[in-house]
Chain A
């Protein structure tokens, strides 16, 4: 089974480029342009990891995390905050995301951080690489 990544970002170009990078690495990538439908998407898609932009139109990143963390079927899914904000590290800590990636990022760093959360045993997904 392929490892899957859900990417939530309101910028289409970023969604597109992350899809290219992660698909090339063998991931099943699902894209979402706003946080409102995240609950339904996760039920349908069941990702190994979520890449979440902090400034989303509609629900903001903080609310999205809250929804995911209170739902027993989603609360174990690792969340990596991707943000163009000034201090993503403290934001990630504040909203209790598992990790963060500052925009703009090197694609190697993106791959590394996604791998980190998809190869660990706690994520429950099967490693294919």
Chain B
């Protein structure tokens, strides 16, 4: 069930209504049932995978908690819990890729290839809930959190439906505590939750799915739409993936808020970042934080010299690339991001000297603008590999991008012949400007919701009705369009 499907529009109000009508004791059971139903609407069989992660990490957590701190069995318990989840993830997500590469190697030696005799679809959200479960057992092992004794609460922590299939990857300290609480109807909280969801729908339906029409058309036919078409599509894809994922996260946060659960903010105006390092502190915060806490720091972080810090950075970003998908293009995407950070770190003093020479400083808007532009360009280049899906595609797209120079497309109207009409194209640009404006406020820790709250009734009413109008009337959905799935559902 997609957030932008009609089924969810029916499902969610029913869940909320029943949630606040039933006795508080039953709230957790109700949300658990709703969460499992939500997940099973894709493929009922895959509920087994969630149950597997839940049971393994729940037992693992209790085992770690009751065993002696210095006991070796405690470590075994941790390793078993993590390995079981990673094996499941490997089997469902990476086995195709591994068999493919293995066969290539065997082919070099003229040895018979391995045939895969089973076929299945990638379970939705598998990377998210396995990482959430793994994070929990590590937290228990470190003593950062107590093992959860209630299976019901723990099952809900793993499967809480607003964030089940595309995050944010929640931490036990934040979500587990909240699922154990009872929640009564609080008007302002529910209202704010619904407004957040509305903003999420705007990001997804009005911005991301409209951009997708153009980007898909270009990337599906790079030979016909080459040169600047690909440049524009690649720039736009940067905004598409942001609004798509940010949209999902915002709907998830809003949905959680309505139910009384505060989920973490997964994005904090990433395209306002002044460097790639800052970008990664603001983009997919829950995953970046996960890798920082459970991989980068245990590897030594930046405590064991520069060389080790750089290799740790590369490991983390390669792992992050692999987490996104079983394809070499994702690995390259991760590697590029890692390289950016390493180079950024190494060149810090040089950049500082250049800045001094040109008498620039970080306060000046020109400097900040240039930094933002550079950061966006660097990040956007990596999105090309992300969107291309494979190395061959990425190479072909690069060839077509740099092989043809056709700047006249900006004036000839050719841009409006690729999926979006002139009006649609300009609407898309205006929507992007709105998103960037909201982000610029967010960057300065000004929240639009809070600003809205301070204004008069008329202003608030017009603003909210305007947003509803935009989502309902300008959103890309309905009969003539396929319901666009969220990009991060495939990870």
Whether A and B are associated in the same complex: the answer reads no
Q: Which residues of A does B touch, CB under 8 Å?
A: none
